[in-house]
Amino acid sequence: MIEAPISRYTRNSLIIGMVFLVGFGLYCIYDGYYNQAFIEKYTVNGKPDATLLFNQKSPPILFVLAAGLAGRWVCIRKRKVVAGDTELVINDKVHIPYDAIEQIDKTLFKKKGLFVVTYTQGGQQYHQKLSETKYDNMEAILNHLVAQIS
């Protein structure tokens, strides 16, 4: 059994996004409420201008967006592709028996890191894209699929 967990690219992108949004939110809080030089510079006739208003109003939105990315991470952290002895399982939802696979298009694997599995279930033909940007260890999955089908 070969497993391909969620990719480091996806995980790191979410973490970088969360850190950026929280950091920028904290920066805006500092400038909008505590940095007196900034507040004086962007106050015109006793009223805050657009820059100061942005720094005062945007942090809650930025924190909600960061929480959204954290929620996305919680939702996708358990996703994986498993190539077992008899079938390919994607995210515990899509089960593709090896005898149902008609073709594997791996022409873009070296260039873009993706391949397409074409299979038939219930009389309908489906195409499932699998990419290295979504899952790690895809080369081992591809080699196992090719070995099982050959």
From 61, 60, 69, select the one nearest 15 (Cα to Cα).
Answer: 69
Whole-angstrom distance, CA of residue 2 vs CA of residue 141: 6
Q: What is the pLDDT of residues 81-110, one digit of tens each?
A: 999 999 999 999 999 999 999 999 999 999
| Per-residue model confidence (pLDDT) at position 20 | 98
Q: What is the pLDDT of residues 5-35, one digit of tens each?
A: 999 999 999 999 999 999 999 999 999 999 9
Angle, vertex CA 75, rays to CA 12 and CA 18, nearest 5: 40
Report whether pLDDT(150) > 90.
no
Query: pTM score, two decimals?
Result: 0.80
| Per-residue model confidence (pLDDT) at position 140 | 94
Average pLDDT score over the chain: 94
Distance of CA 132 to the CA centre of its chain: 12
DSSP H helices in the chain: 8-29, 36-41, 50-76, 109-112, 138-149
Report whether pLDDT(149) > 90.
no
Alpha-carbon distances of 36 from 32, 42, 144, rounded to whole Å: 9, 10, 63
